């Protein structure tokens, strides 16, 4: 039996690996995006978002393939999405020199498309329960490959919209020359380090569940979610400190869109099919909807996030963590 101290050490080492990998990834992705002359909103919503979302994608693949726990991977995705939507904008705002400006493109395109992404994944889970019920169990359905293609198709539409943005964009200055092969190499090194870190995080989450006799998804939605969200946090906070709130906020929405519409379906495509318990998914997705509405409302107010609104987001995330602690100790059983 592994000790708690050892598991904490494993989780710490894993987080460090993810952090170091994210540093390589962030620097390389930023230079490559600048080199290819991409607009800031595409840089944040696609390039930085996909790169920094690699930990979440890896968590679903590893949890499904190595441990046969797709539910753990989904929990990590939802937990990461909640962390991204609440913690990262709040930390970025507090790190920013002034209020965190939100452009109309972010509020009316990125944020609203993200809301559609949340609704699409929830609808996909609902279709699995309604049309592919699993073994007579109430509110349990089978998520199949055809159903997984539904959110993937929506992400294809998102990429097409970003492509139109890139096609119409005219950079004000010439593209910066960089050693692109070297930057691509650093990006790959970053992804490898992140992959190793996520492997250790998933292992720690599974062992924590065994040690404390609790469902592993409760550890996935906290430990794995926070660890895999580290690259997103680093990219957004650094962009905010540099005064580039567009990249910072666009990365949050773009990363979550990728997590919900790509990472979860990829796990299903690899597994072939997997059971989804709607009684577990619905409360968590419901909280994600609430968090999304709060962020949308705060960013729409004067198209900016203030320090007071940032603290509101932090308090809301603290309430979520407290709820998960109550669930893990059996005080509440809304999810279980």
> 3-state SS string over 34-62?
HHCCCCHHHHHHHHHHHHHCHHHHHHHHH
Task: Residue 88: name the closest of 244, 249, 225 by CA.
Answer: 249
pLDDT at 312 over 90: yes
Q: Is residue 18 situated within a structural domain?
A: no
CATH number at residue 210: 1.20.1420.30
Q: What percent of the chain has pLDDT over 70?
A: 90
Other CB atoms within a 10 A radius of the CB of residue 108 amount to: 12
> What integer pLDDT is reported at residue 336 of this predicted model?
62
Torsion angle of C-alpha atoms 13, 16, 22, 27, degrees rounded to 10: -140
Q: What is the DSSP letter of 121?
A: H
Confidence band of 111 (pLDDT split at 50, 70, 90): confident
pLDDT digits (tens, 9 = 90+) for 153-203: 998 888 888 777 666 666 555 555 778 889 889 888 988 898 899 899 988
Say if 35 falls within a structural domain. no
pLDDT confidence of residue 32: 79
pLDDT at 29 over 80: no
Is 211 contained in some domain?
A: yes
The verdict on residue 3 lying in a domain is: no
The two three-digit tokens of residue 192, written as one number = 């490898």
- Is residue 11 situated within a structural domain? no
Domains held by the chain: number: 1
Instruction: Tell me if 117 is assigned to some domain.
Output: yes
The pTM score is 0.86
Strand partners, 276: 141
Tokens representing 159 are 């990429």
Nearest alpha-carbon partner for 247 in 100, 101, 44: 44
Provide the pLDDT confidence category of residue 70 given band limits of 50, 70 and 90: confident
Q: Give domain status of residue 123, yes or no.
A: yes
List the domain range (segments joined by +) for residue 301. 40-168+200-328
The answer to whether position 76 is within a domain reads: yes
Task: Please check the confidence at residue 248 and state whether its pLDDT lies above 80.
Answer: no
């Amino acid at each position: 039996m592994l000790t708690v101290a050892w598991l904490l050490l494993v989780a710490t080492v894993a987080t460090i690996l993810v952090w170091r990998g994210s540093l390589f990834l962030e620097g390389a992705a930023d230079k490559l995006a600048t080199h290819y002359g991409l607009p800031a909103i595409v840089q944040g919503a696609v390039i930085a978002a996909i790169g920094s979302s690699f930990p979440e994608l890896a968590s679903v693949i590893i949890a499904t393939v190595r441990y046969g726990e797709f539910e753990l991977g989904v929990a990590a995705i939802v937990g990461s999405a909640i962390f991204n939507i609440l913690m990262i904008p709040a930390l970025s705002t507090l790190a920013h020199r002034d209020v965190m400006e939100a452009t109309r493109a972010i509020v009316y395109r990125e944020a609203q498309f993200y809301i559609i992404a949340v609704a699409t994944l929830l609808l996909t889970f609902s279709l699995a329960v309604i049309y592919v019920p699993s073994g007579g169990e109430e509110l349990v359905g089978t998520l199949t490959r055809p159903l997984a293609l539904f959110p993937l198709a929506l992400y294809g539409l998102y990429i097409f919209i970003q492509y139109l943005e890139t096609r119409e964009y005219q950079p004000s200055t010439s593209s910066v020359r960089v050693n692109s092969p070297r930057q691509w190499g650093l990006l790959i090194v970053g992804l490898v380090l992140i992959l190793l870190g996520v492997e250790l995080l998933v292992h720690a989450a599974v062992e924590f569940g065994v040690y404390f006799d609790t469902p592993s998804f409760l550890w996935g939605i906290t430990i794995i979610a926070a660890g895999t969200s580290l690259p997103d946090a680093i990219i957004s906070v650094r962009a905010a400190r540099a005064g580039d709130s567009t990249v910072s906020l666009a990365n949050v929405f773009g990363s979550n869109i990728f997590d919900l519409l790509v990472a979860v379906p990829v796990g299903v495509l690899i597994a072939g099919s997997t059971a989804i318990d709607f009684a577990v998914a619905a409360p968590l997705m419901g909280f994600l909807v609430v968090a999304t509405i709060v962020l949308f409302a705060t960013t729409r107010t004067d198209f900016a996030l203030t320090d007071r609104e940032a603290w509101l987001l932090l308090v809301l995330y603290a309430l979520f963590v407290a709820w998960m602690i109550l669930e893990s100790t059996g005080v509440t059983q809304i999810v279980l």
